[in-house]
Amino acid sequence: MAQEYTEYLAINVLNEQQLVSYRSLSRALKVHSNLAKQMLYEFHRKQNAKRPGSVHATYLITGTRRPESPSQTNGAHSQEDGGDTVMQSSPPLPGSSAPQHEEDAEEPVSVRSVLLVKEEHLEQAKATFESITGIHIYSLQANGLSDVQSLTECNRKITASYASEDPLQAWKQYGTIQNPNVKRRTQRRGPPPPAPVAKAAEPKTKPLAPTTKPTVLERQASKESKASQESKPASKPTSKPSSAKATPEPAKKPATVKRQDSDIFKSFAKGRAKPKKQDSQSSAEATTPAAAEPEDEPMGGFSDEDDDAEDGAADIDEVPQEPEGKSKKEREADLQAMMDQEDEIMEDAAEAIPDKTAAEEDEGAIDRPVSRQAEEPAKETVTVENGRRRGRRRVMKKKTVKDEDGYLVTKEEAAWESFSEDEPAPKKLKTAPATSTNKPTAAGKKGAAKAGQGNIMSFFSKK
């Protein structure tokens, strides 16, 4: 041990003429910082005994300074050069309290200072201290230190070379000051899931896109996912269903068109993914994988959320995706029903129970995207349609839960809610989804335009 440090210091300080601070010595030899300080002292003493002036030291003095000599301090690292100008403009740095003149005039405030001094100024600096609580060697160098700033290089090298060490384990060895209440975050992903979701969506879209065979679909998917990313955080589900549906379906020109329609329609609503999903589902119902995909994904969504970022984000995606998928499905069905028979929507609604339920769910879905965005829109739609429709619907409610780490995590949960409404007139049905979508979406204009477009586009989609 004794040989090691002498050798190390001889090589670094004398031969290579580098600056060695006690911290770099402790990291290099894996010893406690205090031991490193003692090593520096020993080496300094021995070398200077052999050849005076071969090794220079910089000292760190901690103590209480005499209040009557404030002019000598320039801040934490004062050089104490003879004739050094007093830079009063430099603000007192934390950790070293440079006494201000005003303070001294009022009352003798004892100030604790931490001072870096070159060895030639050591005695002078010591004289300025009233009482010294600690003094040790900070660094050694072969020749005098010209610029104190060069000491910063030592610390930078430490952080660069020893970045791989876990400070929570290494602190005992090195003697770094440690807060016992500190602990690592368990969850890698931060509180806002949409942000990493959106980000994860984009890289996912890109790797997934090349794998899909139809380039048209890919471009659609990536384009829409990119657009949706800007608008809503549900872009991730977009990429997934789009890629999912793209892969099993090799040739989907009509599907593309259909997707375009609903995509444009839904682009201003929440969750672009849904329209895509809807399209794939509606257009190619024969494709079981496509149908199975959304089922699988929602199922997977309820899995454990303790995975790392990607999985967690995926899970979060799944959860909203599943209800959204239903909503999209319902919306699609409902819209189609609306478009198809404008006058007979009531009958249709009354006749077909699945249609009715689909319609209800669709309304709920329509309301759901609304509610998904915020609870207020959901309430707004409720109040608007209050007393006009009946049935049960699924509403997304947000719950803010305090996590184990103390983070507030907002989760969306689907809750069944029963509401009563009159049998809706077709116009009301049309307008209600239009208005409901209007409210949740920030762009009211877009909503109106979208509703109009939806109506128009439905004509084309009929064919």
Partner 1 sequence: MSTEATTLRVIIAAFTDFLTVAIHTILYERAIYPPTSFLSARKYNLSVRQNRHPKVCEWINDAVSAVETELLKGVVGRVAIVIYTKDNHPVERFMLDVSRFPTVALADLDTPLERTAANGDRLPILPRIDMEEQFRATLSRLASCSSTLKPLPEGCVFNIAVELKQDGQPPLNHPQPWMPVQSAKGDAVGGQLQKKAVPVRSIAAGELLLECWIEEADGAS
Binding site residues, partner 1, CB under 8 A: 17, 19, 85, 87, 141, 143-147, 149-150, 152-153, 156
DSSP-derived secondary structure for 99-121: PPHHHHHH----EEEEEEEEGGG
Number of helices (H), then strands (E), in the chain: 19, 6
E strand spans, 124-180: 129-141
To the nearest whole angstrom, how small is the minimum distance from the Cβ of residue 154 to partner 1? 10
- Residue 86 or residue 195: which is nearer to partner 1 going by CB? 86
- Residue 153 or residue 403: which is nearer to partner 1 going by CB? 153
CA distance to 87, 236, 316, per residue, from 307 (Å) = 54, 17, 11
Task: Give me the helix-helix angle, 235-246 and 288-301, nearest 10°.
Answer: 150
Q: Tokens for 178? A: 């440690």
To the nearest whole angstrom, how small is the minimum distance from the Cβ of residue 183 to partner 1? 31
Spatial CA neighbour of 97 closest among 112, 108, 81:
112
To the nearest whole angstrom, how small is the minimum distance from the Cβ of residue 51 to partner 1? 16
Cα 8 off chain centre by:
43
To the nearest whole angstrom, how small is the minimum distance from the Cβ of residue 28 to partner 1? 18
- Residue 154 or residue 197: which is nearer to partner 1 going by CB? 154
Q: Compute φ and ψ for 370, nearest 5 degrees.
A: -60, -55
To the nearest whole angstrom, how small is the minimum distance from the Cβ of residue 419 to partner 1? 57
Q: Tokens for 213? A: 């065979």
To the nearest whole angstrom, how small is the minimum distance from the Cβ of residue 287 to partner 1? 43
- Residue 150 or residue 178: which is nearer to partner 1 going by CB? 150
Spatial CA neighbour of 201 closest among 168, 146, 232, 239:
239
- Residue 146 or residue 186: which is nearer to partner 1 going by CB? 146
Cα 241 off chain centre by:
24
To the nearest whole angstrom, how small is the minimum distance from the Cβ of residue 87 to partner 1? 8
To the nearest whole angstrom, how small is the minimum distance from the Cβ of residue 117 to partner 1? 16
- Residue 85 or residue 400: which is nearer to partner 1 going by CB? 85
C-alpha count within 13 angstroms, C-beta hemisphere, residue 183: 7
Cα gap 412→46, rounded to integer Å = 70
* SS3 of 302-357: CCCCCCCHHHHHHHHHHHHHHHHHHHHHHHHHHHHHHHHCCCCHHHHHHHCHHHHH
- Residue 118 or residue 240: which is nearer to partner 1 going by CB? 118
- Residue 143 or residue 341: which is nearer to partner 1 going by CB? 143
